[in-house]
Amino acid sequence: MEKHLDSVPDHEVSREEITSVMTALEPDQLIFAKEHHHCPRRQLTATEMILFWALRIYLVFMVGVVVYQIWTGVR
């Protein structure tokens, strides 16, 4: 079965276009590079994890406050 790259042009690429792309764009700007090379995952430190969770809990709590305000407002 034939497989397609979604972002591939529907016309043949000319030499001029290829030269233009290779000179004007940085290597990691190419869609091909973006699709095949991803930034490696980093390990979070304990402090970072605590910060992430603290802000997540803050957000959930504050959304609860907003819901409470709407509920009391409607009543």
Partner 1 sequence: MKKRNTASESGGETAFRSVTLGDPESNSQPPPPDRVVITHEDIDRAHDREQVSATRARRGFRPRLRLFWLLIGPGILVMLGENDGPSMLSYAATGARFGVGFFVPFVVLTFLMACVVQEMTVRLGAATHRGHAELIFDRFGPFWGWFSMIDLMVGNFLTLVTEFIAIRAGLGFFGVRPAVAVLGALLVLSVALMTHRYWTWERIILGAATFNLVFVPVALLAHPHWHEVAHSLLTWKPLPGGLTQETVLILLANIGATVTPWMLFFQQSAIADKGLTTHDIRMGRVDTALGAALATVAALATMLATAPLFLHHMSAANFEAAEFAQALQPFVGHWGAALFALGIFEAGMVAAITISTSSAYAFGEVARRPHSLNLPFKQGKAFYLVLLLEAAAAGGLVLIPGIPLVYIVLLVNVIAVLAMPPALLFLYMLVNDREIMGDLVSPLWANVLALGVVIILIAAGLLFGLSVIAPNALAVIGAK
**Shortest Å, Cβ 45 to partner 1:** 10
Residues 14-33: x where in contact with partner 1 by CB under 8 A, - otherwise, as a string: -x-xxxxxxxxxx-xxxxxx
**CA-based nearest residue to 26, from 15, 37, 14:** 37
By CB under 8 A, residue 63 contacts partner 1: yes
In contact, 33 and 27? CB cutoff 8 Å: yes
d(CA 54, CA 27): 39
By CB under 8 A, residue 75 contacts partner 1: no
Which single residue is written with the structure tokens 């980093």?
A: 42
Q: Among 46, 47, 73, 75, which residue sits at the site for partner 1 (rule: CB under 8 A)? A: 73
Q: Among 7, 46, 47, 75, which residue sits at the site for partner 1 (rule: CB under 8 A)? A: 7
